[in-house]
Every structure is written in structure tokens, then in C-alpha cells.
Amino acid sequence: MNETPNGEKPCVLLIEPMPSWTIERARDEFDLIVLPHESKRPQKFLDNVDRIRGIAMPGFATVDASLMSLLPNLEIVACFGVGYDGADVSYAQANGVAVTNTPDVLTDCVADLGMALILACLRRIVVGDRYVRAGRWKSEGIMALNDAPRGRCLGIVGMGRIGLELAKRAEVFGMSIAYYNRSERGDVPYPYYASTKALAEACDVLALTCPGGEATQNMIDGDVLQALGPKGYLVNIARGTVVDEAALVQALSEQTIAGAGIDVFVDEPNVPEALFGMENVVLQPHQASATIETRTAMGNLTIDNLLAQFGSRPLPNQVA
């Protein structure tokens, strides 16, 4: 149990949703205040703003300057996830607040889902499931042929940990790899393209594994989708904001691209309803890291970052 010199547990604000076992461990370690959403201001929160020393937040929550400024003794914002674009890092840095995340522990699971979405799109796995359930196999015969991954090029936007793991998986299925990154990597054997549009023109499947935030907002726009072309697929396991969602809906409806596998959206859980009736789209509820094993490791690492801060130890995963 982590206690201050006066015997009190450090006060931590936890923003839901987080796994129940993470919340239970947090209650053991901290004097915990739970918010159902970052916009809520219950009385318990208002009564303890001077005591709150840390925030535990999902990576997609918004912890901005207006929230942090209410907490004069805030020391750390611990993000439950590899992405931390929901935290106002500039404000945190200017006010001596540390920001941490949970990398590495979710890399494999996110890459796994990325590969699953590639296969689901190319092999039309979800379409085939619907075809059988609707009795169409019996009434209409064999379903239309689909596309094999072997021999196709996977273009990866963001060649970090997850991008590298996705590349390894795709190579097993006989795909070649190319990539776009903020800068070319000397330790990566794949061809580098200097723009997302150039990469889209060169590949058959464009997979997004880059960070969110202002720097990548709407990076994949109508021009990039046009370059991907009518035989190309988009797979997004990054952040919804990386894609111009209206342009994507238009490209899919007009068959500017062949299809898409999407795990993340701009305004979750609100998904453009126009996508619901499209057979060339595979939709997921932001679950790339959503395995019991990975979410347990993420929760423990989030708490470990908080404990290190309150114990004046080096932070395991400080990003700012």
C-alpha cells in the first residue's frame, strides 16, 4: 500500500472506462475518485480538488488545461494506453506535470487485430459469415471470389512498434511491405515513401498505426484515398482523427476504394451510420488492445507509473 508520510493514501482521479480489476487495484493503492466521464464534476471531485495528485485516464479521454488547472497539486497524468493525445501535454509540461503511457504491452494485440482486419477485408470474412447466416449459400450458390494477401503490398503509415509487428505478420502471409514515417528509419529494410499519398499509390492495403493528435489530424484525406484507388483497402488501428471520416464515407460509397477495416472513429462510440449498410466495410468497437491479458498489463503499468511518481522513483514510461 502506498501512503504519504502522514499515513494517507495519495488521492487519484480515475476516469472511466477502465477494467474493473484495474479500478480495484487502484482503490487498494490510492484514495480514489472515479469519474464516469472527464466532463463530469460530482461533489466528491469538487471537494477534493486540492488533494488530487494524479489522474489515471484512458488514452482517448480528454484531459485538457481546463481540467488540470482545477487541480493545484497535480503531479502526474497516467494514460491507460499507448496513445496520449487526449492529454494536454503542453500544459502539463509548462506546469511540471508528468505524462506517462503504457507502450509495449499492447503492441502484439494491436498488430494482431490489424492483421485480422486485413484478412477480413481481403478474404471478405464478415461478408461470408452474413452470406451463410442469411441462407444465401443454399439459395444462390458459391459466393463471389475474394482477394488473397500473397503478392499484395501493405503500406504502413507509422513505422513504430506496432507498425513493425504488423509488418512481420503480413510478411508471413506473403505480403511485401512499404512505409511512411515522420522520417526514414535506417534500421528498417522496407521501402520508404516521403508522403502518405505516394505510399497509397504504391500499395494495395494502407494500414494506419501512427499516433493521433494535431500533427496527424485528417492525414488520410480524399486525395490519399483517391491515390489508394478502387482496388485498395484502408485499415485503421491508430486513431479516428487520422482519417477525414467524411471523405472516407464518400470514398467507400462511391467505390473510390475497395473497402476498409476500421477499429477507431472520430467521435466514439458514434460511428457514421452510412457505414452500417456497406458490405465492403468491417467495423470494430475500438478493441485492438481489448484482450484480458493486455488490458491487465496496461492497468498494472498505469498504476505502476502513479506509484513511481508518488514514491519519488523514476517513471517507467514517461513521455512528457
Residue positions annotated with a catalytic role: 239, 268, 286
- Cβ distance 92 to 86 under 8 Å? no
Q: What are the Cα distances from residue 173, in Å, to 92, 118, 150, 239, 288?
A: 43, 11, 6, 25, 20
C-alpha cell at 109: 494485440
Instruction: Return phi, psi of residue 159, to 5°.
Output: -95, 65
> Do residues 236 and 261 lie in contact, with contact meaning Cβ atoms separated by under 8 Å?
yes
In order of 56, 64, 112, 176, 193, the CA distances from 81 in angstroms are: 11, 17, 16, 29, 28
Burial of 223 (0-12, 13-18, 19+ CB in 10 A): middle
Q: From CA 32, how far away is CA 23, in angstroms rounded?
A: 9
